[in-house]
Structure 1
């Protein structure tokens, strides 16, 4: 399913849904960030996705990281909560979703980065390489906030 990100776009379609979703900020022992290249829009992003019925939200973070990146993590905290109403995602099936995402901090446990149906590339990315990748501004905000190592989560 195709996906179009609308960010601060006054001509964006009006949202018709809000879905609880997560992203996961995890670093390896060298401080590199785990990123995937999404198959639906080609952009680089933290692994993540929507919560399923019957699971705790931290379980969503673990499952999505495993499914999209092939890596096992343990949730250790919250980077931030991202609810910008000026960020909507338009899907080819007619859904227009207002952003609601909890970005968790995760600790790498095991596994090697591996692609999936939702990721065409997966790799650990050094801070100085981030500028070379196509990353949506809202995702870059999550990554930058994760790198800041704040004592309190970002809320916005």
Structure 2
């Protein structure tokens, strides 16, 4: 279970920081790879925590494959998101400050499939995003991804 707080004065104080990655993936038709998360019931681009012994590029490839079944190749950086006003509270008492490197990636294989972290995997047109329950921090990554190739964003 997780709860995202964004610019919320009632948010708990962060007590941890972990490197995370996410991927803005578009197919040849311009559709965006999205998951319906199991931990917060929101739609998101795929991503997760970096593990010891891997590079950030390895982490994004692994996370996308684990959550979606799609193999990707990182091709750029959308941005580095580290807003201290975005914290994620977990059921075990951890409250993590956001620190996520969002990659632009291209699909190179695989078949969409769900995992323990994703109850649905969909290719979504940019116009459909507004119809989905997407956290504001993820909407920002999508909007920035759609504006590539601008300079990478960072906070």
Normalization by structure 2: what TM-score?
0.98
Distance 2:150 2:14 in 1: 33
- C-alpha distance in 1, partners of 2:122/2:110? 12
CA offsets 1:86-115 (integer angstroms, 9 cap, x no match): 000000000000000000010110011110
Return the alpha-carbon distance in structure 1 between the equivalents of residues 131 and 64 of structure 2: 23
Tell me the CA shift for residue 141 of structure 1.
0.1
For 1:80, the equivalent position in structure 2 comes to 79
Q: What residue in structure 2 maps to residue 142 of structure 1?
A: 141
Partner of residue 37, structure 1: 36
Runs (5+) with no aligned partner, structure 1: none
Q: Which residue of 2 aligns with 1:155?
A: 154
SS at match of 2:144: helix
Q: How many residues in Structure 1 have an aligned counterpart in Structure 2?
A: 155
Q: Does the residue aligned with 2:93 lie in a helix, a strand or coil?
A: coil
For the aligned residue pairs, the C-alpha RMSD in angstroms reads 0.6
Distance 2:149 2:137 in 1: 18
1:55 partner SS: coil
Deviating above 4 A after TM superposition, structure 1's stretches of 4 or more consecutive aligned residues are none
Q: Which residues in structure 2 correspond to 1:96-135 (within 5 Å)?
A: 96-135=95-134
Structure 2 runs not aligned, ≥5 long: none
For residue 147 of structure 1, report the CA deviation from its aligned partner.
0.5
